[in-house]
Structure 1
Amino acid sequence: MDTESPRGLKILSDRKLTMMLGLGFSSGLPFLLVFSTQSTWLREVGVSKEAIGMISWVALAYSLKFLWAPLLDRFDAPFLGRKLGRRRGWMALIQIGVMLCLAGLAFGDPGNGLLWTIVFSFLLGFCGSTQDITIDGWRIAVAPPEKQGAMSAASQVGYKIALLCAGAGALYVAQFYSWRAAYLVMALLMLVGMVANFLAPEPQKHIETAPGAHRSLVQTYAEPLKEFFARNGRHTILFLLLLGIYRLPDFLSGVMANPLYIDLGFSKTDIANITKVFGFAVGLTGIFAGGWSASRFGLMPTLLVGGIAAAASHLSLALLAHVGHDIRLLTLAICVENFAGGFAGTALVAFMSSLVSPLHAAAQYALLSSLYALPGKILGGFSGFAAAKFGYAAFFVATSCIGLPVAALCLAVWRAYAAQTKAGAEQNSLA
């Protein structure tokens, strides 16, 4: 974005960007607290690797949110919808739910009984994923297309800061105080997003004001799918298959990474300092490198390199598991994995965005962003059984081998994508 131009300065001065920063923070806060940070807590109190892997299924709501997303577009939130408007009303209601779920988890005792933790983890996964729907809907509705780049950037910055708080911040508090204190602090941090929501403007346009708004509920769900399959034709299944396995190695390894660190004897402070704070900076570098590569060499070469690099990076975790407690090797493994993950993540987001039609951007992107993680979330629930049976080293070698079919699919998609892009250009020239 040209920040030197009057247009660039006008966009940056928009107060909605500040609100987006706070809402992005609110969106990112729950995720790690129901995923890797929680797995650290569970492993520390003696929960088995098998149980930790299965508990990760509570985060499946993030992959299934497309099922109820259209309902939030069509209906107002109870009570708060009349007070704050449709978008902000749902946001406020769900943010209260996230805060209550985090407080509920704080008062659990997973070392002596998992039922309480499982119930509140499930509710937190549902509330956190629903909050993402509401925030994405607000962002798309409140800003015109020319401001969506800046709004998305502000959202990502807020999201990354929240991951730092929910990762390193929660581990620091747990190390020096308790896990209960850590989750209560995270619950209080939800006030950042709640304040941003109350200060944010309510979008004026909703689905009822759009052309064809008075369609049936079935049509609301069916039309984006019909358009997506019609436009991508015979390549649709190939594209979806690549989306389904592209980040599969990361989802599988992500559940077992923190239990590995705990079992190797690293303290929560070590994990926070290296995997969260230092890894956070390296991950940002990977994100910028992925963006530069996509603009310099093209989307498909970047997607191919990212897929191979992300899977191969797990060999460093296998080496760490084989060698044992070594702080330098831990640092190296985290650097390699976070850089490769950031690079691959940028390529994947760009690829998904290229598959979406502007006419159905919100619905189709929600569908793709939900489904790309679904296989990894399901199989991730079995990761603890695999790590327990074969050992950490063999487990991480196996996850890295998934990079072979990923690379093969990337090459096939590259060819199909090029053919589809060429056909679209020829059709536009004839029109």
Structure 2
Amino acid sequence: MTFQAYLDIFRNRRIGAMLTLGFASGLPLALTSGTLQAWMTVEGLDIKTIGFFSLVGQAYIFKFLWAPLMDRYTPPLLGRRRGWLLVTQIGLVLGIAGMAFCPPHEALWTLAALATLVAFLSASQDIVFDAYSTDVLRAPERGVGAAVKVLGYRLAMLVSGGLALWLADRVLGWQQMYLLMAGLMGIGIVSLLWAPEAESPARTPRSMEEAILGPLRDFFSRPGAWWLLLLIVLYKLGDAFAGSLSTTFLIRGVGFSAGEVGLVNKTLGLAATIVGALFGGTLMVRLGLYRSLMLFGILQGVSNLGYWILAVTPPHLWTMGATIAVENLCGGMGTAAFVALLMTLCNRSFSATQYALLSALASVGRVYVGPSSGYLVEAFGWSAFYLSTVVVAVPGVVLLWAMRNTVHRYEARARAAA
């Protein structure tokens, strides 16, 4: 591929839409979780009430339940994917703005209802954005597109997380900050006006029965479907194990202060993840899907050795910085390839439902490794635990190698369709 061809991939409207819509996708998350918790804490609410509010985020776990509706029905404006994005983003602007007028002490239950609505609309936006990405990106662009999605999403989390807290505390106050965040959702709405439609729109399911059962029939009719599902669970499992107790390890296991860990994780870690995703997406243009998955899978497993080195050597800030930088860099590269794999596996007629189901399956490891990680640390100590995370990464790489022909076949089919 020529240098001009590389530039053409980066400077087209499809990739640009991944950045702005990725930003709109990531912005609401902290506003119903960490930032909202901070507001409630500052207002002096009790810990039980603050803990109860964590339930508003359940929509992100169960979003696959209503994904078929978004495959089946098409809003009157902007087509099936952009139309639903417009509906959810307008709802998010109104919902986030409504939260601004509900101080926790004065309108707690109204705030809870609005936060739940915002989380529901945000999860619905994620469903459609993932489907839109799958539909609109050409096969050679999926690695770069996935990387730019990660960039937009992470920047939005930084804005609605750290920057929002600073603005609320030092400049605007909580009400004006939430109104500002509602206004920033307009970035997504404006970008929908120039974001392109898919070049060959897929057929819409003819009935709700087809929208619900069609994605399952389509996926499980494929050779090696169950092995593909296992690969989705295993590929990022070692990475999930390593990250499950990393903050506790750095503070309690190594002895760094919470401030040191927060500064390095929030700045260097975020920057390394973004660089890793962009670098990985660029490499995927040359390497292709299978070779990228293999290389990045090995790197993200080996990078866990940095935590083992921290566990067996005297604590030093530079060592922690290097470990977090390398681990997040390799993890970001693996994420770019993994998202491209999920896109490749989706049938564009059912991409909202299939992507929601596959991404929910991919989160199983991240959600459920925490309890087992704690038991392993208690039984064997930190150094043995982090060595075990390298071992846990091996089955995913081995299964990927065993399924190389299957992945190559999907990759070739996606390129042919493009």
TM over 0.5: yes
**One of 91, 95, 100 as aligned partner of 1:97:** 91
**In 2, distance between residues paired with 1:245 and 1:49?**
35
What amino acid sits opposite 1:239 in the alignment?
A: L
**One of 301, 313, 321 as aligned partner of 1:308:** 301
The answer on whether the counterparts of 1:283 and 1:339 sit within 8 Å (CA) in structure 2 is yes
**Residue in 2 that maps onto 1:344:** 334
Residue 232 of structure 1: SS of its match in structure 2? Answer: coil
Q: Give aligned-pair identity as a percent.
A: 30
**Residue in 2 that maps onto 1:429:** none
Q: What is the correspondence of 1:170-181 to structure 2 with a 5 Å cutoff? A: 170-174=164-168, 176-177=170-171
Shift in alpha-carbon separation, 1:316–1:169, aligned structure 2, 3 A = farther
**One of 392, 397, 405 as aligned partner of 1:410:** 397
The answer on whether the counterparts of 1:25 and 1:161 sit within 8 Å (CA) in structure 2 is yes
Matched, 1:295 2:287: yes
The answer on whether the counterparts of 2:297 and 2:397 sit within 8 Å (CA) in structure 1 is yes
- Please list the CA deviations of residues 94-123 of structure 1 after superposition, one character each: whole Å capped at 9, or x if unmatched: 113323444455566779998777655443
Shift in alpha-carbon separation, 1:205–1:258, aligned structure 2, 3 A = same
**In 1, distance between residues paired with 2:56 and 2:385?**
24
What amino acid sits opposite 1:226 in the alignment?
A: R
**One of 204, 212, 217 as aligned partner of 2:208:** 217
Alignment RMSD: 5.1
What amino acid sits opposite 1:341 in the alignment?
A: G
Matched, 1:244 2:239: no
Shift in alpha-carbon separation, 1:14–1:422, aligned structure 2, 3 A = closer
**In 1, distance between residues paired with 2:35 and 2:93?**
17
Residue 231 of structure 1: SS of its match in structure 2? Answer: coil
**In 1, distance between residues paired with 2:37 and 2:241?**
13
**Residue in 2 that maps onto 1:231:** 222
What amino acid sits opposite 2:273 in the alignment?
A: G
**Which runs of 5 or more structure 1 residues have no equivalent in the other structure?**
426-431
**In 1, distance between residues paired with 2:272 and 2:211?**
41
**In 2, distance between residues paired with 1:204 and 1:116?**
43
**In 2, distance between residues paired with 1:173 and 1:273?**
18
- Please list the CA deviations of residues 43-81 of structure 1 after superposition, one character each: whole Å capped at 9, or x if unmatched: 8879769976x86565453343333222113224xxxx3
**Residue in 1 that maps onto 2:416:** none
Residue 82 of structure 1: SS of its match in structure 2? Answer: coil
**Residue in 1 that maps onto 2:4:** 4
**Residue in 2 that maps onto 1:75:** 73
Residue 222 of structure 2: SS of its match in structure 1? Answer: helix
**In 2, distance between residues paired with 1:317 and 1:67?**
42
- Please list the CA deviations of residues 237-274 of structure 1 after superposition, one character each: whole Å capped at 9, or x if unmatched: 3432342354456667768767899997645xx77753
Q: Deviation at 1:195?
A: 1.7
What amino acid sits opposite 1:90 in the alignment?
A: W
**Residue in 1 that maps onto 2:363:** 373
**In 2, distance between residues paired with 1:289 and 1:12?**
12
Q: TM-score normalised to the size of structure 2?
A: 0.70
Q: What is the correspondence of 1:90-239 to structure 2 with a 5 Å cutoff? A: 90-103=84-97, 119-141=113-135, 154-174=148-168, 176-177=170-171, 182-200=177-195, 210=203, 213=204, 215-233=206-224, 236-239=225-228
Shift in alpha-carbon separation, 1:299–1:50, aligned structure 2, 3 A = farther
**Residue in 2 that maps onto 1:283:** 273
**Which runs of 5 or more structure 2 residues have no equivalent in the other structure?**
412-418
Shift in alpha-carbon separation, 1:342–1:176, aligned structure 2, 3 A = same
- With 170-179 and 25-34 compared, the bigger mean Cα shift is at 170-179
Shift in alpha-carbon separation, 1:181–1:302, aligned structure 2, 3 A = farther
Shift in alpha-carbon separation, 1:376–1:19, aligned structure 2, 3 A = closer
**Residue in 2 that maps onto 1:27:** 25
